[in-house]
Copies of this chain bind each other. A is one copy, B any other.
Amino acid sequence: MKGIFIIADGLGGRPSDIDGKTCLEAADTPYLDALATRGSSGLVDPIGPGVRPGSDTAHLSLMGYDPYEVYTGRGVFECLGIGMDVKAGDICFRANFGSVETSDDGLRLLDRRAGRINEGQKDLEAALRGLSIPGTEIDFLASTQHRGALRIRGEGLSRFISETDPHVIGELLHPSAPTADVPGAQKTADLVNQITQQSYELLVEHPLNQKRISEGKLPANVLLLRGAADCPDLPSIESIYGVRGAVIAGGALYRGVAEACGMTYIPVEGATGGLDTDIVAKAEAVLNALKTYDYVFCHLKGTDNAGHDQDAEAKKAFIERMDTELFKTLIERVDWDSTHLAFTGDHCTPIDYGDHTVDPVPVLFVGPNIPRDSGTTIGIRVAGQGGLGRFSGRVLPMLLGYCNWAPKFGS
């Protein structure tokens, strides 16, 4: 048996998306409809009814973990997702390149994304290897645009500290401070403040920034650290189910969550984590990974990007591209006698609102052990009356269970 778990980020929508239909309902998806006709649909509350999910917490919940128990913050998934190793005691951050200017009172924010810097970040990353504080090991890696991740390794650190990003242009960077009276919080806050200052000193005179300024661009002259997190204590999927999984994802966060669950990352050229991602390449990678792994988790981000951009046509078009470039391929080339597929989103990102909402998300299961319901699509209305009813999170455990890999609880 093989398992395929596909998450289209922010898949869910609302009647306000397009003429009274969600983008998923409005999209022309003959291949997805064919799968729906063979399978059974339902509604999933990614975390629970009436809980508005983040992407990180929703993914943890869909993988079968209780985010209220295991979630420590986003930073750790960003670090894992960028390829760093993370071990107990490390403190991890999302790290943006930002633009600041000096003032008598400290560093003043000019831009939270360094003018959406889009080249030369690896040069800045190299300069930041100069970050140095005795007794600690500091690692920074740049990823896409202004984004990166930073890990502090050292003794007696804590994630209970505030972020430095004031989120408002023109304001001074906030000094990091403890958010709880716990050991290590003051020490870690002090480290963050030193790293912030050092990053400015290492970057302010950097040739790339001199060039950016001469071109009228904002300099990338500081690191803004947020999402402090320590290593969550997750038993791996393999330790629970005895099967090995792979992750195919363009976005670092999703790779990071999957690696934290014990999946193996498979890089795919052209997987951008955006609307322009190469879905054909990802589909091929899924089929290829199934030869080696028991199950594959494939994440597509474009639906969410279009939702945040409030672009209904782009979201609908991305769903239609998934239909012909992924689901058609799977229909034609997967051995459906010995494969189960689950398809859902990690939350809704309705066009009208442009951000995550609490509404439940359609979910589809297909495979030999799934009783076929009467649905022939998986729009929200059909899924709401589908054969799987409504449940909270745990889509991967259900998928692995249909593949007969679940351990028995009790006897």
Chain A positions near chain B (C-beta within 8 angstroms): 14-16, 22, 40, 42-43, 45, 47-58, 64, 67, 71, 74, 227, 350, 353, 355-360, 368-374, 380-381, 384-398, 400-402, 404, 406-411
Contacts and interface: CB of A to CB of B under 8 A. Distances in A.
A64 B50 contact: yes
A191 to B, nearest CB: 22
Copies of this chain present: 2
B410 A55 contact: yes
A408 B359 contact: no
A389 B14 contact: no
A52 B74 CA distance: 30
Nearest to A394: B50
SS of A interface (majority): loop
A58 B358 contact: no
B359 A401 contact: yes
Contacts of A357: 369, 401-402, 404, 406
A16 B64 CA distance: 26
Contacts of A392: 49, 391
Contacts of A380: 371, 387
A409 B15 contact: no
10 contacts: A43-B388, A49-B397, A50-B397, A51-B409, A52-B406, A52-B408, A350-B369, A353-B404, A359-B369, A371-B381
B407 A52 contact: yes
A358 B401 contact: yes
A355 B401 CA distance: 12
Nearest to A25: B371
Contacts of A71: 410
Given A16-B369, A52-B407, A411-B56, A384 B381 contact: no
